Each structure stands twice: as structure tokens, then as C-alpha cells.
């Protein structure tokens, strides 16, 4: 236990969560990886255990715990070796629900946040578009106000929980002439006429449903606008700091899990009359990976501490995701090599780990985009400010 960041209560929570996942989730993972459809019962069990309410107000059924409970939640989800299942859980709890909590009014929190915390409703966040990718400001989805309603047209893609969720938190342009200053955030019920979704097939993250969503003259009440009109871009940018830190934490956690498995394997595998963990070249590979993952962990924990204290850590969170996902890809590749031919077999966990890890440098802002954001902050002295408290 790293006592700089984790208390005894944190560790008790970790143990309880690990046992819950082993009992309630792990037995179903292979099935969900094959079907790409996570059974609804597990969402309700997560809700009953309070796992979706870790970061949210008690007034709506949450626990209002510090950010290191979220760090533990993310780390333990990586240990079950299904990036897709983990993504479905945290995309609901920390992408869709973050916007509900930060920008939603009391009615929206009662209708969407409360049942999200209890596991009765599943949410997704729709920002990325087929022609936009990382260019959030270039989105084409529009929301035109007509009386006491908005009419939404457009599409989103690569949306986790995009097919089976109950509601969608989406970004749309309410004033296209203003560019990124004309974006707003809305919540939409899945069964609203004009909403349709197509499931996408992926290289990894097989257990999660990833959808392309279309909006064809979707009519929603004006009170489903969240926050202020035309302030959506600021809200999105603000919450990207948390999303990027989440992906950084995910990366160091799956690297640590991969390394633990590889160490166990080489301590049991024999060649030339001894276990292969006695060969220097393999020992030094392990030493390099262990050093890199420890550096990522310590940095990510320090960023989490600052974010928990209310600091706006967009630069540090971007660095967290950039380096942690890069190191994870490289380290898991090396871990697979330590297993030799068995690393290439589906019955061993490393093949899935390798596929799932590859999304790290892509989702939530590509590494190329993150480098430019960091360069703007460091070279151009650009300052990013929080949109909401």
C-alpha cells in the first residue's frame, strides 16, 4: 500500500471490490467478450454495491468519496482482463455521469443521475463524429431551437455504450457560425423517435458495445439542455482532464497486471534445465518494464491528488495519458514475447491484453493531439481554464 495516497479504508475497499469482481464478473467475461453484450444484471449489482456512486453526491444516492476510490475502481477493473467490460463501466460512470452531475439541473439529476448511480439506467457520451475524430470543434451535429424544443440532426461514432445504453449525453452545435463557441450539451432518451444506432466491430474491447449513432430530426424538450447554451466546448474540455487521467490509470494498471502474469509464467517455465526467469535478458526486460510502470503510477497518483484538490490539471492529465498508454503498448508487447508461442494463444490472457491496450493511444484524444495540446501549453504558453467549479 502506498500510504502517501491510500489509507487503510482504501485498501479495504480494494479487497472488497476485487472479491466482488472475481465472484460476479470474471465468470461471465468470456461470454461477454464473444457476444459484445454485457448482461443487464451486472449493472444493477454494481449500482447496489455503490460502485457507480463513488464520486457523486449523497443527495442523489452517491457516496462522495475521494478520487483515490475511483483510482482503485479503475485499477481493479483492469485486472479482470477485459478492456471492453472496464470501458463500459467507466464510460457510464465517468463520461456520461460526469456531465449529468456537473451541468445537469436538479430535474436532470433526479431523472438520469440517480438511476445511473443505482444501475437502473446506462448512459453514454457522444462527442466524436465520423468526419471529426479528435476535432471536437469541427462537429457537424446541429441542435436547432424551435419554441420549447430542439431539433437534432447529425451523427456520432466510436461511442462506448452507444447501442445498449438508456440515454445519451451528446454535443451539438446550437450556433454553427460561432465554431467551438457554439456547441451545447444535451441529454436524450434512447427511445426518442429519430435516434438509431449501428454496432461497430472492433479489434479489441470486444465486451463493450461501440456504436455509430444517427439523429434524424430528433425532437427533445428544451429543458434537456445541460448547462448554458453555447458553453458545451468548455464543458467538454474541462472533463477531458478526468477522462485522460482515467486512461492513464487504466494503462498503468493493465501493464502491472500483464507484468505480474509474465513474471509468474517465466518463474514456472523451464528451458535448458532451469526456469527462464534466471536468464539475464529476460530479467532485464522485466526490470525495464517494472521501472516504467512504477514511474507512471507515481506520476498518475500525484496528478489524481491534484485533481482531487480542485486543481485544473489539463497539462498533467494529457501527459499521463500520452506516456502511460505508450508505455503500456510497448510493455505488453514485451510481456507477450516473454511467453513465447503461448503469448500468441487465445487461451492465455496476453493476446487479449495486447489487443485491448492498443486503443489507449487512440481513444479520448489521440497521442498526436495530446502532443500538440502539451506543446501549446509549454511552447505557446496557452492557458486552459475550468468552465465550471
DSSP class of residue 95? Answer: I
How far apart CA 268 and CA 265 sit, in angstroms, is 5
Q: What are phi and psi of 164, to 5 degrees?
A: -105, 0
Residue where the block lists cell 430530426: 217
C-beta neighbour count of 135 within 10 angstroms = 12
Q: What angle do CA 22, 26, 30 make, to 5 degrees?
A: 170
Encode 23-59: b = buried (16+ Cβ within 10 Å), e = exposed. eebeebbeebbeebebeeebbeebbeebbbbbbbeee
Label residue 290 exposed, middle or buried (CB < 10 Å: 0-12, 13-18, 19+).
middle
Catalytic residue, candidates 33, 243, 292, 316: 243
Cross-strand bridge partners of residue 84: none
Concerning whether 110 is annotated as a catalytic residue, the answer is no
Residue where the block lists cell 439541473: 105
Question: What residues are annotated to the active site?
Answer: 243
Amino acid at each position: 500500500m502506498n500510504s502517501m495516497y491510500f489509507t487503510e479504508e482504501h485498501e479495504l475497499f480494494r479487497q472488497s471490490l476485487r472479491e466482488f469482481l472475481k465472484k460476479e464478473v470474471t465468470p461471465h467475461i468470456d461470454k461477454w467478450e464473444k457476444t459484445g453484450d454485457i448482461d443487464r444484471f451486472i449493472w444493477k449489482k454494481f449500482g447496489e454495491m455503490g460502485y457507480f456512486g463513488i464520486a457523486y453526491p449523497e443527495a442523489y444516492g452517491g457516496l462522495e468519496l475521494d478520487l483515490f476510490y475511483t483510482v482503485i475502481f479503475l485499477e481493479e477493473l483492469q485486472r479482470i482482463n477485459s478492456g471492453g467490460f472496464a470501458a463500459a463501466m467507466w464510460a457510464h460512470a465517468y463520461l456520461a455521469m460526469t456531465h449529468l452531475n456537473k451541468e445537469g439541473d436538479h430535474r436532470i439529476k433526479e431523472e438520469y443521475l440517480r438511476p445511473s448511480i443505482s444501475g437502473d439506467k446506462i448512459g453514454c457520451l457522444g462527442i466524436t463524429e465520423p468526419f471529426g475524430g479528435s476535432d471536437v470543434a469541427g462537429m457537424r451535429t446541429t441542435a436547432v431551437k424551435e419554441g420549447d424544443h430542439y431539433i437534432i440532426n447529425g451523427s456520432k461514432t466510436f461511442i462506448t455504450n452507444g447501442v445498449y445504453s438508456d440515454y445519451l449525453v451528446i454535443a451539438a452545435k446550437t450556433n454553427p457560425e460561432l465554431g467551438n463557441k457554439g456547441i451545447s450539451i444535451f441529454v436524450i432518451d434512447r427511445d426518442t423517435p429519430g435516434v438509431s444506432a449501428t454496432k461497430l466491430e472492433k479489434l479489441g474491447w470486444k465486451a463493450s458495445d461501440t456504436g455509430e449513432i444517427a439523429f434524424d430530426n430528433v425532437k427533445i424538450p428544451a429543458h434537456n439542455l445541460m448547462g448554458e447554451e453555447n458553453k458545451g466546448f468548455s464543458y467538454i474540455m474541462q472533463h477531458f482532464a478526468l477522462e485522460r487521467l482515467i486512461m492513464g490509470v487504466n494503462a498503468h494498471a493493465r501493464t502491472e497486471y500483464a507484468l505480474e502474469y509474465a513474471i509468474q509464467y517465466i518463474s514456472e517455465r523451464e528451458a535448458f534445465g532451469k526456469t527462464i526467469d534466471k536468464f539475464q535478458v529476460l530479467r532485464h526486460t522485466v526490470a525495464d518494464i517494472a521501472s516504467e510502470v512504477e514511474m507512471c503510477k507515481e506520476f498518475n497518483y500525484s496528478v489524481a491528488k491534484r485533481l482531487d484538490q480542485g486543481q485544473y490539471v489539463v497539462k498533467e492529465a494529457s501527459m499521463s495519458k500520452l506516456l502511460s498508454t505508450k508505455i503500456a503498448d510497448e510493455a505488453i508487447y514485451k510481456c507477450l514475447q516473454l511467453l513465447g508461442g503461448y503469448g500468441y494463444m487465445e487461451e492465455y490472457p496476453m493476446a487479449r491484453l495486447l489487443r485491448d491496450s492498443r486503443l489507449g493511444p487512440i481513444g479520448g484524444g489521440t497521442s498526436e493531439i495530446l502532443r500538440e495540446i502539451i506543446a501549446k501549453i509549454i511552447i505557446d504558453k496557452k492557458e486552459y481554464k475550468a468552465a465550471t467549479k
